[in-house]
Amino acid sequence: MTGYVARRLGQAVVVLWAAYTVTFVILYLLPSDPVEIMLAGGQGGEQSTVDPAQVAALRAEHGLDDPLPVQYAHALWRTLHLDLGASIQNGAPVTSQIGQALPQTALLTASALALALVLGVGTAFLSTWTRWAWVRTLLLALPPLGVSLPTFWVGLLLIQVLSFRVPVFPALGNEGAASLVLPSVTLAIPVSASIAQVLARGLRTALAEPYVETARAKGASRARVHLRHAFRNATLPALTIGGVIVGNLLAGAVVVETVFSRVGIGRLTVTAVNGQDIPLVQGLVLLAATVFVVTNLVVDLLYPVIDPRVRVQGAPRRPRPSTRTLVGSAS
């Protein structure tokens, strides 16, 4: 297991380096100039009045007049020393900007994930528990609908209904717990739909296994069959999409924070990309890649905790979400 963790950590370093390098190259190849964007107002406004001498001086100050390999080597060296540099647009340290925005986004994503787990697990459980065919059909139709709805459209609809027509929750801002409700619901809908789809499929597959029939023949109650025998095995395929869920939360936070005018990583990302703020964009990409890598590592390490038989030469092995079903014991 120690060797497996070491290999995964090595792969994580490679992923972080690749994400950092690809981001740097893409931003370098963009036709616009971040210094000119800054002098023109930060959003690519009118640039005819920009003084070329001032542009050249600022480019030299930020090292943007160096060749690409030199810029990359300097930036990578600073990053290895935990120095992400300063923003081109406002001169503030990148780490401080991310540190100020991160708590609000963490609160939003945590609340959305908690709500998504309740909705997703509840929908999957009820769809396989009920004996009424029309209720089961209705519940199983909800996840595809939730995945297909655009996040920005859901957010605008909630604002229109629950902020303007029926003023229950505030439409914009970060003030108070009430301002977190609508953004959390908006972000939780597509995530809960993904969880419900995978978990419901896993539960249906597990409930059709022979060991479940054996448990029923021994007199196990429906609740015991669902919770002790079927649910645990169905959790493994659902756990596999942990990385996808984190990606959906991070991507959805950009849209949600923009729609609800919330201060956070999402809006900071939009501002950094619009201003072609290379150090800030790279810092944000590193943050997202780190969260994604850590999540996948934790998911892999949870497999032997849930079932120690899921191993390959001492390392956890992920089951396929659509086909893998562990054979459990009915006793």
172-220: per-residue pLDDT in tens? 878 878 888 999 999 999 888 888 888 888 888 877 778 777 877 877 7
Share of the chain above pLDDT 70, in %: 84
pLDDT at 325 over 70: no
Contacts of 191 (CB under 8 A, 6+ apart): 112, 113, 116, 120, 245, 248, 249, 252
Residue 221 and residue 215: Cα distance in Å, rounded? Answer: 9
Interacting residues of 204 by C-beta distance below 8 A, sequence separation 6+: 128
pLDDT bin (cut points 50, 70, 90) of residue 313 is: very low
Q: Residue 331 corresponds to which tokens in the numbers above?
A: 């006793």
Q: Is 280 helix (H, G, I), strand (E, B) or coil?
A: helix
H-run or E-run covering 210: helix 210-217
pLDDT in tens, 132-163: 888 888 888 888 888 888 888 999 999 999 88
Which domains occur in the chain, in start order? 1-41+51-81 (no CATH), 95-309 (1.10.3720.10)
Question: What average pLDDT score do residues 295-323 get?
Answer: 61
Mean pLDDT of 281-304: 82
Q: Distance from first CA to last CA of the chain, Å, rounded?
A: 29
CB atoms within 10 A of CB 74: 13
Structure tokens at 160: 């229109």
Sequence-ordered strand ranges (E) for the chain: 311-312, 315-316
Total-model pTM: 0.76
**pLDDT for position 326:** 38
Q: Is 159 exposed, middle or buried (0-12, 13-18, 19+ CB in 10 A)?
A: buried
Most confident of 20-29, 109-118, 125-134: 109-118
Contact 208, 111 (CB under 8 A): no
Residue 308 has pLDDT above 70, yes or no: no
For residues 154 and 268, what is the distance between their CA atoms, to the nearest angstrom?
A: 22
Better-scored residue on pLDDT, 225 or 62: 225
Q: Is pLDDT at 278 greater than 90 in this prediction?
A: no
